[in-house]
Amino acid sequence: MARTRYITIPSGQEGIYDAALQSGDRFTFSKVTRKVTFYGRKKIAGLTRRSYIPAIAVIWRTFTDAKKADWKTAGTERGLNGWQAFVADQAKRIKFGIAGEATPSTLHQDLVGLLYITAPAEEIKIAQYHPSQYWVNQKVQGKKSEYEPASVTEEFALPLELSINYKSNLVSTGSGSFAKFYAVVRHSYQGVNRETNLEIDFPLIGGWANLNETLSEVLGEVQAYDLFIHLYKVTGTLHFDNPQANHSSQNWNRDPYCKDISKSFTRAFYQVASSWQVITLPVGASYNSAYPT
């Protein structure tokens, strides 16, 4: 088998190359393989049976214009049109064996973050760190499902606005119980390092709603911040979606749509940290992305 260290694609033939060949492992054992461009009837039939799109399309065609408009409104939260939003949601319901269709909502869309605590656990705490430089898993432009590690420089500046949608079903197990989403803002004043908290308190029981808080100024010069979700002296569940940490005209929260809040990265993506990392996770506590029911 021939081996090459690199190739140069002649100008004007990039489309032909992309149509015929594809990369294997791009980082460790690089190789180029042919693309499968022809499928037999049996293969096509199998792919169709496994696809949810035909079944979802049948449901979509039964919707009134008003209901399609509601899905369009819900989809704008994630930059999707109404059909795309419905497909993303209904595919999860089919996959997990959930009957019926969801009611479109601007507060949550298909997968959401879930924190779950059952005895003997009474606490869970996760963090998302925001140093001035870090790595993220970034989609390659022009590629359908290709990602690459990318370095991010986050220049922090106030005001900082926190926003989150939530649904809580928690029970206190003792005095001092709480559930909160908060930022610890680090700053320096007169040569002393200080910290200021910006906190959002979750009611222990509450339906889907939005909460937000803003920090506009601190003493001295701001340096950086970190985000935390902390449940203490409680059992039960907390669902959340669309978390935001807005500053400098941008939401810097990683995985803002809660596609996989506990995902870990390896191999060529080893420097990419999980969107939310464990600080306290005793036996009986867990966190992940899930479909809300």
pTM of the full predicted structure? 0.82
Beta carbons of 269 and 146 less than 8 angstroms apart: no
**Amino acid 144: pLDDT:** 72
Tell me: do 94 and 152 sit in the same domain: no
Question: What is the C-alpha to C-alpha distance for residues 55 and 94, in angstroms, rounded to an integer?
Answer: 9
**Amino acid 137: pLDDT:** 85
Q: Is residue 278 part of a domain?
A: yes
What is the Cα 44 distance to its own chain's centre?
Answer: 32
Question: What is the biggest distance separating any 2 CA atoms in the chain, rounded to whole angstroms?
Answer: 74
Name the percent of the chain lying above pLDDT 70.
85
Residue 163's φ and ψ, nearest 5 degrees, are -145, 145
Tell me: do 140 and 270 sit in the same domain: yes
Question: What is the C-alpha to C-alpha distance for residues 118 and 236, in angstroms, rounded to an integer?
Answer: 6
Domain of 238 in residue numbering reads as 113-290
Q: Is residue 257 part of a domain?
A: yes
Q: What is the number of H-type helices and E-type strands within the chain?
A: 5, 15
What is the Cα 142 distance to its own chain's centre?
Answer: 21
Domain count along the chain: 2
Average pLDDT, the chain: 89
Tell me: do 133 and 276 sit in the same domain: yes
Q: Please name which of 63, 62, 64, 88 lies closest in space to residue 77, comparing C-alpha atoms.
A: 88
Tell me: do 121 and 248 sit in the same domain: yes
Q: Please name which of 160, 162, 164 lies closest in space to residue 216, comparing C-alpha atoms.
A: 160
Tell me: do 182 and 259 sit in the same domain: yes
Of 85, 105, 125, the last residue of a domain is 105
Q: What tens digit of pLDDT does each residue of 203-236 get? A: 999 999 999 999 999 999 999 999 999 999 999 9
**Amino acid 265: pLDDT:** 84
